[in-house]
């Protein structure tokens, strides 16, 4: 019997999780939650999901460091590193800006912060919401964190940066290390390159093994979330969430595919099919960093992008290319401003765009990390930080959606860079002769 592909296994796990989570949600509303050996099923599901997520996070630091070092060192020999870097960063900045503008436009058009022409602040109980936990997470943060992004790029202690998961610092260090490796004499450079190449291959093999358990982990993560939150919420938040979802779809299914078609000459549908395991993993984990090992494996095996390109572009994108996150940050700030009944001028909206673009760079690729960035944006336009509390109703679901967009944007960028560098991807080869 033919084994189901990974993306089909994940899809089945998602469907089962939705059913089981809904049943548990309904039963918990009628009495104490069901339990197994005295342990609530929700707790069991969350444990399984977190175990899978921790396994992915475990390999992030060595995978990122080894992949970037190998990628940069390899490109230093075979490619123009400066050209690759400029193209990558330019693409990331352009697509993130486009995503922000799409979100801003739709929020202004739909105006989900108003109900029957009136601000929804009273309906959302903005002044009475308990946000103690959220306030603790964002205490002491403000617009100054934007400048802090550049400070975090140069960590004083690289070991501490690795332990704390400071990805920007690790990436900057790895890029410098890989670049200066190319300046060494051959007798020193070759064994060092072989060491990091072997480390990278070991990390990819570990990724392959961990991903065998992806359907189980996905089931646990999603079932636990649905059992807790369910599918319903108040009307303004539902409209806001739908607006954000439409904006994310517009960026992911129109803007990015057009770039694939026009620049890379790649069929977007074929690319989506090839990328589906990574997109589904990103959706289920809500973490672009945790999805990075899967993204690299899928892009190299299914799409045919070289390891030199993927090992440089993807780890960089997992930290600085947050299309979906930037879109959401901007939309959330505008929604809350509408709920308070504020008429934001063009200048203030421009400020929101700039701050969203900059803060998205420093957002950690973990679930709900964008809440900190939203706090920075709110502070920059004078809105109370406690307003973030109302976003928590649908945040997990939207986080899953925007993470998929983040991952998709990284993969599109890597594919385009690959094609511009003269590589013949598998998808392009299949289309040669009928899609020129």
pLDDT-above-70 percentage for the chain: 73
Range 333-349 average pLDDT: 77
pLDDT at 413: 92
Q: Is 2 helix (H, G, I), strand (E, B) or coil?
A: coil
- In this prediction, what percent of the chain has a pLDDT beyond 90? 15
Give helix 186-211 / helix 167-181 axis angle, nearest 10°.
140
Please state the rounded mean pLDDT for residues 355-379.
Answer: 63
Residue 366 confidence (pLDDT) above 70: no
Identify the weakest region by mean pLDDT among 77-91, 354-368, 399-413. 354-368
Evaluate if residue 418 carries a pLDDT over 80: yes
| Band of residue 232 on the pLDDT scale cut at 50, 70, 90 | very low
- Candidates 411, 406, 414, 416; CA nearest to 260 is 416
78 class by beta-carbon count within 10 Å (0-12 exposed, 13-18 middle, 19+ buried): exposed
Counting beta carbons within 10 angstroms of the beta carbon of residue 182, is it exposed (0 to 12), middle (13 to 18) or buried (19 or more)? middle
Report the distance separating Cα 328 and Cα 333, nearest Å.
9
Least confident of 25-29, 82-86, 242-246: 25-29
pLDDT score, position 308: 80
Alpha carbons 25 and 307: distance in angstroms, whole number? 44
Q: What is the mean pLDDT of residues 6-34?
A: 72
State the distance between the two ends of the chain, measured CA to CA, in whole angstroms.
38
Average of per-residue pLDDT across 324-331: 87
Query: Which one is predicted more confidently, 229 or 215?
Result: 215
pLDDT, residue 36, reads 60
Helical pair 370-380 and 346-361, crossing angle rounded to 10 deg: 150
Extract the tokens encoding 205.
């093999």
Domains annotated on the chain, with CATH: 6-431 (1.10.3860.10)
Q: If we measure between CA atoms, which residue out of 56, 10, 419, 43 comes closest to residue 206?
A: 56
Confidence tier at 154 by pLDDT (50, 70, 90): confident
Tokens in use for 243?
């607006």
DSSP 300: I
Is the model's pLDDT at 106 over the cut of 90? yes
Other beta carbons less than 10 A from residue 433's beta carbon: 7
Is residue 69 pLDDT above 90, yes or no?
no
pLDDT recorded at residue 29: 52
User: Per-residue pLDDT tens for 387-404?
Assistant: 776 676 677 778 889 889
Over residues 168-189, the pLDDT tens digits come to 678 788 888 988 888 889 889 8
The pLDDT of 235-251, averaged and rounded, is 90
Output the pLDDT for position 382: 63
- pLDDT given for residue 53 in this prediction: 75
Q: What's the pLDDT at 233?
A: 42
Whether 130 has a pLDDT exceeding 50, the answer reads no
Q: Average per-residue pLDDT in the chain?
A: 77
Mean pLDDT of 372-393: 66
What mean pLDDT do residues 284-300 have? 84
Cα–Cα distance for residue pair 383/374, rounded to 1 Å: 11
């Amino acid at each position: 019997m033919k084994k189901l592909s990974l993306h089909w296994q994940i899809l089945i796990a998602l469907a089962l999780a939705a059913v089981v989570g809904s049943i548990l949600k309904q039963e918990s509303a009628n009495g104490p939650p069901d339990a197994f050996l005295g342990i609530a099923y929700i707790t069991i599901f969350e444990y399984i999901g977190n175990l899978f997520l921790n396994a992915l996070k475990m390999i992030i630091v060595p995978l990122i460091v080894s992949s970037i070092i190998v990628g940069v060192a390899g490109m230093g020999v075979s490619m123009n590193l400066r050209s690759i870097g400029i193209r990558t960063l330019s693409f990331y900045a352009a697509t993130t800006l486009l995503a922000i503008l799409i979100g801003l436009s739709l929020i202004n058009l739909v105006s989900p912060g108003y109900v029957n022409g009136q601000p929804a602040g009273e309906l959302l109980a903005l002044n009475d919401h308990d946000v103690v936990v959220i306030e603790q997470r964002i205490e002491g943060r403000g617009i100054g964190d934007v400048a802090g992004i550049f400070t975090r790029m140069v960590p004083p202690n690289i070991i501490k940066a690795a332990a704390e998961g400071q990805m920007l610092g690790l990436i900057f260090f790895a890029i410098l290390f890989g670049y200066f490796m190319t300046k060494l004499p051959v007798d020193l450079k070759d064994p060092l390159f072989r060491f990091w190449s072997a480390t990278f291959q070991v990390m990819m093999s570990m990724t392959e093994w961990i991903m065998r358990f992806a359907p189980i982990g996905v089931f646990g993560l999603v079932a636990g979330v649905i059992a807790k939150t369910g599918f319903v919420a108040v009307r303004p938040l539902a409209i806001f969430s739908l607006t954000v979802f439409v904006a994310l779809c517009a960026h992911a299914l129109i803007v990015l595919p057009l770039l694939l078609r026009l620049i890379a000459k790649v069929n977007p549908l074929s690319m989506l099919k090839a990328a589906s395991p990574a997109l589904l993993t990103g959706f289920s984990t809500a973490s672009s960093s945790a999805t990075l090992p899967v993204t690299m494996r899928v892009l190299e095996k299914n799409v045919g992008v070289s390891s030199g390109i993927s090992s440089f572009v993807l780890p960089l994108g997992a930290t600085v290319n947050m299309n979906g996150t930037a879109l959401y940050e901007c939309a959330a700030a505008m929604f809350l401003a509408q709920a308070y009944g504020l008429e934001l001028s063009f200048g203030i909206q421009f400020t929101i765009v700039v701050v969203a673009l900059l803060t998205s760079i420093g957002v950690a690729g973990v679930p709900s990390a964008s809440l900190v960035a939203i706090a920075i944006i709110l502070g920059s336009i004078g809105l109370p930080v406690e307003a973030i509390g109302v976003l928590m109703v649908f945040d997990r679901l939207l986080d899953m959606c925007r993470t998929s967009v983040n991952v998709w944007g990284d993969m599109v960028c890597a594919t385009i860079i690959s094609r511009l560098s003269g590589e013949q991807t598998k998808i392009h080869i299949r289309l040669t002769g009928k899609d020129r």
